[in-house]
Amino acid sequence: MFTRSRWIALALGGVLTAWAQEAPPSSLKVNLPADSPVGLVSAGWGESRTEARGGALVLDLHTALVLRNVSQQHIRGVSLLVLAQEVTPGGKASVAVPSLDVRPNETFPIRIDLRLLRPLLTGAGPYAEVSLDGVLFDNLSFYGPDRLSSRRSMTVWELEARRDRRYFKSVLEARGPAALQQEIIDAFARISERPRLDVQVIRGGRATAMASSQERECRLAFLQIPDSPLEPVSGLARVAGAEARAPSIEVRNRSSRAIRYFEIGWVIRDRQGHEYLAGSSPGGDSGLRLAPGATGRVSEDGAFKFSRPNGPQVAIEGMTAFVSQVEFADGAVWIPTRAAMDDPRLRSALAPSPEEQRLADVYRRRGLTALINELKKF
């Protein structure tokens, strides 16, 4: 028999659950500072919806902003912070658009397709606020509060874009359109050969149920990249079945500049010898300074768990690490060169850059001529 309070809760829940509706247009607020290099042309609620679930409001945002480049430079990337609330998980999100080519005074859209949570009763005001986290210009200068480390991310994406466009253009010039077409198809094939893995990262209070008897220490192997400023020296992880826990790695700065940030990429090998790109791990954040020649050890107390969408469970046999990205103390960034990606293991380990993904999509939708014309723009 339900208690009275339960009936009330049910009734309220029923009313609120039925309240899956569109919200008035003023429910999305866009904040741009007065000196912002982008101006707002239009914004709206679009096809967004809200739905009450228990004590929370779920915002399904599906809309597009139209911005104008009001600066005097070409814009290469924009990053937005979308905030419903900062109290509970899932209230904060970001949307970044790299590989842009927006001239002064041009307009461009940014789509927002996100789901956010906010407590049901937080008073008046918009459901979500959109603010600018950063704009990257053609000369790699940056504007914005950079709360989400957008400057580093967008710089990496822009460098990757330039690297990959240069490469495709060189293929076109040296070997013609058929070779370019082959490269793009290889890009698809390169990714398609890699099986998909679902992943969970579990950190802190919720320990995984890994039997200590099954757990073993796994010494990490490394893919060395010749011109990498950072060298992985040694590493360990504890592995059992499809879980890997507490990886740690020792790295050495072999460049002549201090390093303040880096990312290490991981490849997992299963018992059948198949290799999967498992991910990459950022080392260091605010305050890191790895001096030239210095070594240091980074470790993590979380666990990551892999599963296949279809097929047998993953059983981790070994792990390989490689340096995927380095940021120096002076703000310069290093990424692997295209030549380094001649190593077939590294090429299959590295994810395609956003620009490679975009160019492949240009080819897929509009054909080879359109791809060639796109490359000629830069």
Residues 318-347 that bind another protein (CB under 8 A): none
Q: Does 362 bind another protein (CB under 8 A)?
A: yes
Shortest Cβ 54–another protein spacing (Å): 10
What CA–CA distance (Å, rounded) separates 8 from 164? 60
76 or 124: CB nearest another protein: 76
**Binders of another protein: how many residues, by CB under 8 A?**
97
Nearest to 249 by CA among 290, 297, 319, 217: 297
DSSP assignment of 58-99 = EEEEEEEEEEEE-SSS-EEEEEEEEES-SSSTTSEEEEEE-S
89 or 123: CB nearest another protein: 89
- The token pair at 315 is 């059983």
What CA–CA distance (Å, rounded) separates 178 from 172? 8
- The token pair at 281 is 């791990």
Q: Does 218 bind another protein (CB under 8 A)?
A: no
Which residue among 12, 41, 294, 339 contacts another protein (CB under 8 A)? 294
Which residue among 109, 125, 145, 331 contacts another protein (CB under 8 A)? 109
In the chain, the amino acid numbered 364 is R
Which residue among 42, 88, 170, 224 contacts another protein (CB under 8 A)? 88
Shortest Cβ 214–another protein spacing (Å): 22
What CA–CA distance (Å, rounded) separates 85 from 147? 15
Which residue among 85, 94, 228, 255 contacts another protein (CB under 8 A)? 94
Which residue among 8, 15, 199, 233 contacts another protein (CB under 8 A)? 199
Nearest to 37 by CA among 1, 75, 79: 75
Ranges assigned E (strand) in 28-172: 28-31, 38-42, 49-53, 56-69, 75-83, 92-97, 107-119, 128-137, 142-143
Half-sphere exposure of 38 (CA within 13 A, CB side): 34
Do β-strands 316-328 and 221-222 pair in parallel, antiparallel, or remain unpaired?
Answer: parallel
**Interface with another protein in residues 5-34 (CB under 8 A):** none
Placement of tokens 């994810």 in the chain: 351
Q: Does 283 bind another protein (CB under 8 A)?
A: yes
Bridge partners of 230? 253
Show the site string, 141-160: x = touches another protein by CB under 8 A, - = not. -------x------------
Q: Report the SS3 class of residue 154.
A: helix
194 or 257: CB nearest another protein: 194
92 or 255: CB nearest another protein: 92
Stretch that binds another protein, among 14-22, 222-230, 335-343, 357-365 (CB under 8 A): 357-365
What CA–CA distance (Å, rounded) separates 89 from 346? 35
128 contacts 59 by C-beta, under 8 angstroms:
yes
Q: Does 181 bind another protein (CB under 8 A)?
A: yes
Q: Does 108 bind another protein (CB under 8 A)?
A: yes
Shortest Cβ 27–another protein spacing (Å): 18
**Interface with another protein in residues 38-77 (CB under 8 A):** 47, 58, 62
Bridge partners of 150? none
What does residue 315 show for φ and ψ, rounded to 5 degrees? -125, 110
Stretch that binds another protein, among 2-10, 120-128, 211-219, 290-298 (CB under 8 A): 290-298
Which residue among 282, 318, 329, 333 contacts another protein (CB under 8 A)? 282
Which residue among 51, 138, 146, 300 contacts another protein (CB under 8 A)? 300
Q: Does 196 bind another protein (CB under 8 A)?
A: yes
What CA–CA distance (Å, rounded) separates 237 from 232? 14
Which residue among 302, 315, 318, 329 contacts another protein (CB under 8 A)? 302
Q: Does 97 bind another protein (CB under 8 A)?
A: yes
Q: Does 304 bind another protein (CB under 8 A)?
A: yes
Tell me the torsion sign for CA atoms 108, 113, 118, 121.
positive
Stretch that binds another protein, among 16-24, 108-116, 225-233, 334-342 (CB under 8 A): 108-116
